[in-house]
Structure 1
């Protein structure tokens, strides 16, 4: 990695960590809170592209695994990666790759297509992976887990729109594909 790429990647990791300072909002019905860090995860895919974005998210998750309290609410350690939120973390790891890939499709050149290219991987796929994991490690039924995931859709959609608007403002949507 060049120095510039290393600095960009490190800055996105720092943004994700800072978003974790915002306290998680517990839902009460499931052991997974609403967090702001997924906004940073989607931003990694837009700002850095698939390779560097995945490296940034992987580095962030490695810090969490090693015990650094970088996850929202100060969560950290190996136990987090087998607990109820682990599926969401796995979804986060593949989000930059999926966002970059979806935005590289020719039909995603329109603004609505670009927003969908951020929303589907950054919101829908992450939530489905997280909900399936939740079903596997808790006594919650699959239907209950998938249904509870609907609670995240409105807020996560707002985050995806915010990422899209940042990307448009930074004129980065067209460069995401070309940098990979």
Structure 2
């Protein structure tokens, strides 16, 4: 592994942690707040690809598991991994691999948008509401309805992540031309 890869992974983990310190917004219908960390997961997937993105997200999740307060609202520890929001965290673990695989060598804007919506929005939300329904007394229907409230914000966060990814890729290509 190159020094550049290690640095990019470390920076991405830091970005995901920083996004967790932006206060979560409770929505009331289900015990899952609106957070910005999923935007960091999508950014890791887009910017670092399936291998390094998975390493960054895996390191972040491992830090949360061992008790570092890196999750939204300063949470962390093993209890979070059996709580109502754990399904989202488990989905985060596989998101970089899935999204990175769909985008491998395919950089058309339409394809990026579709893959990001499919994996970064729909897959994460479905895994989250399914876990929520299985581990709480909330019916699957109510969990899905609650999960629908996340879609506009998640689409916006995905759009920001895609725009940032495309801009950074342009800058990287420009820097390569200057060499």
Compute the TM-score of the two structures, normalised by the length of structure 2.
Answer: 0.91
Q: CA deviation at 1:103?
A: 1.4
User: Cα distance, 1:15 vs. partner?
Assistant: 0.3
Whole-Å separation in 2 of the counterparts to 1:31 and 1:75: 14
CA distance in 1, matches of 2:111, 2:50: 18
Give the direction of change, closer, same or farther, for the CA distance of 1:76–1:9 in structure 2 (3 Å limit): same
CA offsets 1:112-144 (integer angstroms, 9 cap, x no match): 221111121011000000000000000000111
SS in structure 2 of the partner of residue 41 of structure 1: helix
Q: Give 1:14 shift.
A: 0.2
CA distance in 1, matches of 2:66, 2:108: 41
1:100 matched to 2:103? The reply is: no
Q: CA deviation at 1:90?
A: 0.5
Structure 1, unaligned runs of 5 or more: 176-180
Matches within 5 A, 1:44-123: 44-104=44-104, 109-123=107-121
* Counterpart-to-counterpart distance in 2, 1:39 and 1:66: 23
The alignment yields a C-alpha RMSD, in angstroms, of: 1.4
Per-residue CA distance 1:53-90 (angstroms, 9 max, x = gap): 01110100111111110001011100000000000001
Give the equivalent residue in structure 2 for 1:43: 43
- Post-superposition offset of 1:109: 4.7
What is the CA–CA distance in structure 1 between the aligned matches of 2:98 and 2:163, rounded to whole Å?
19
Structure 1 segments (4+ residues) deviating >2 Å = none
Inter-partner Cα distance in structure 2 for 1:40 and 1:171:
17
Report how many aligned residue pairs link the two structures.
171
CA distance in 2, matches of 1:165, 1:89: 24
- If the length of structure 1 is used for normalisation, what is the TM-score? 0.91
Residues 23-60 of structure 1 deviation map (CA, whole Å, 9 limit, x = unaligned): 00011111100000011100001111101101110100
Corresponding residue for 1:164?
162
Decide which of 115, 134, 137 is 1:136's aligned counterpart: 134
Q: Does structure 1 residue 28 correspond to structure 2 residue 28?
A: yes
CA distance in 2, matches of 1:64, 1:95: 17
CA distance in 1, matches of 2:55, 2:42: 13
